[in-house]
Structure 1
């Protein structure tokens, strides 16, 4: 097999892996934001998260992982849209932010 074809197959395989890994991380981010909204007594709007940024970072063990930050919107009173975020390193949630609200 020529070198070009081998490199193209490796590149396509890497992109497929990245896509599947991103879908899995997004699901984890959605579940974390859904659980946090439920625990805080606010409504998760649109029932989804959207990627804000992705870069490389080291986890607690020193391994390089993809760090992703997802944003989501929630409402504390049914009329206002407020911003929240969840950050994952690899498949582990490392930060989740929901602004304090007055009931």
Structure 2
């Protein structure tokens, strides 16, 4: 499957998440994705942090599964990002 290259903005965001995680004893990074990135590359860049991908897009879900990354599939509904990430966290906890 073709993957989309990480943008400089996403790379900066991931670096910031990694620094924040170190300061706050965070163990998991949730990525609400609409694009099929190289999730294995992202996971490696996060070091010891666990990456969980959440999406309602079938191609993104397939990419995460192919990369062996934890996936929380979302139901495609017109919702705000806040509602989507809340749904993803609740479903991840339930699993």
Fold-level similarity (TM above 0.5): no
Q: Which has the larger radius of gyration?
A: 1
TM-score normalized by structure 1? 0.28
Normalized per residue, the structure richer in strand is 1
TM-score, with structure 2 as normaliser: 0.30
